[in-house]
Amino acid sequence: MRRQRVPRNATPIAGPCPPVALLIDPVRMGHAVSVTDLRVRRGVGDGPTVLLLHGLGATSEVWDGVVAALGGAWVAPDLPGHGGSAPLSEYTFPAVADAVADLVDPERTVVLGHSFGGVVGLHLADRPGVRAVVGLGIKVAWTDDELARAAAMAAREPARFDTRAEALTRHLRLSGLDGLVAPDAPAAAAGIVEEDGRWRPALDPRVFGVGDPEMAALLAAASVPVVLARGEHDRMVSRAQLRALVPDPVELRGLGHNAHVEDPAAVAALLARSRHDGG
């Protein structure tokens, strides 16, 4: 993943993060490809449940600031092949969506997904209980060259390092969090694993091979309200690209690709509107 420019007003997350009330569950989910063990973090409260789906390379910890600002019920998994969740035998957007589908509250759920997680969220739009989907920072346009480079990354073996610090550095670069998350923050530590005395990012590189999200078709098929948003300085997606898909995309002033990390309150306010409408 290309390293993103850090906006001037962004404040790096230091470790440890502010306390967030949560329960951490190991959950076994059945889906079309295989059975997957997921690391799932939850918070209790009133209102529609918010299902939070992180971006490629990250973990559920990137949402800590948002849930602290938002309040109410929420659930945030490490997506398959990320953090503490097991890998899939193969990665497609529908397969990842199937793996987390049982986390949808059949009563009322609003889905907020960032980048890769935003596409996964749109694949959940027709699940019973989903009232709205918010996609933040989704890269909606892919060239053939970009897809070829992603496929090449998916074919690589995971990089392994002699030191924990080297693995942390690699994880933060892969997830686009370099400069936004301190190496000693939970959002950094959750993204690496130790194997046979060496360290590596927890990300399964094969996730890079999911392919073109085909956003126009996804949006046409959505039966619930969809909001597409971007940070003003997000280099992964332009305002014009979003306007070609929806008439009223939201732009978060002064923020970049990881707006939910840079300014959690701004993203919580965006989500609160959809949560209220979906209630």
Rounded Cα distance, 240 and 217, in Å: 18
∠238-115-246 over CA atoms, to 5°? Answer: 50
pLDDT of the residue at 56: 98
Decide if 186 is inside a domain: no
**Boundaries of domain holding 112:** 23-152+210-277
pLDDT over 70 at 203, yes or no: yes
Structure tokens at 237: 């997606």
Mean pLDDT of 184-195: 95
Mean pLDDT of 193-222: 97
Q: Is 210 exposed, middle or buried (0-12, 13-18, 19+ CB in 10 A)?
A: buried
Rounded Cα distance, 276 and 274, in Å: 5
∠229-152-37 over CA atoms, to 5°? Answer: 65
Is residue 273 very low, low, confident or very high in pLDDT (cuts 50, 70, 90)? confident
Decide if 195 is inside a domain: no
Mean pLDDT of 217-242: 97
Average pLDDT, the chain: 88
Q: Mention every residue, 6+ apart, whose C-beta is less than 8 A from residue 151.
A: 208, 209
pLDDT of the residue at 8: 39
Mean pLDDT of 61-77: 95
Decide if 182 is inside a domain: no
Torsion of CA 17, 23, 29, 34, to 10 degrees: 40
Indicate the pTM of the whole model: 0.88
Decide if 193 is inside a domain: no
pLDDT in tens, 25-57: 544 333 323 335 999 999 998 889 999 999 999
Count how many residues are written for the chain.
Answer: 279
pLDDT in tens, 158-172: 999 999 999 999 999
Decide if 238 is inside a domain: yes
Rounded Cα distance, 231 and 254, in Å: 7
What is the domain-level CATH number for residue 35? 3.40.50.1820
User: Phi and psi for 169 in degrees, rounded to 5?
Assistant: -60, -45
Decide if 137 is inside a domain: yes
Give 155-161's long-range contacts (Cβ < 8 A, gap of 24+). 155/205, 155/209, 156/205, 157/205, 158/200, 158/201, 158/203, 158/204, 158/205, 159/200, 159/201, 160/195, 160/198, 160/199, 160/200, 161/198, 161/199, 161/200
Decide if 124 is inside a domain: yes
Is residue 198 very low, low, confident or very high in pLDDT (cuts 50, 70, 90)? very high
Decide if 198 is inside a domain: no
pLDDT in tens, 102-155: 999 999 999 999 999 999 999 999 999 999 999 999 999 999 999 999 999 999
Number of domains forming the structure of the chain: 1
CA distances from 30 to 34, 38, 50, 89, 198 (A): 7, 11, 21, 13, 31
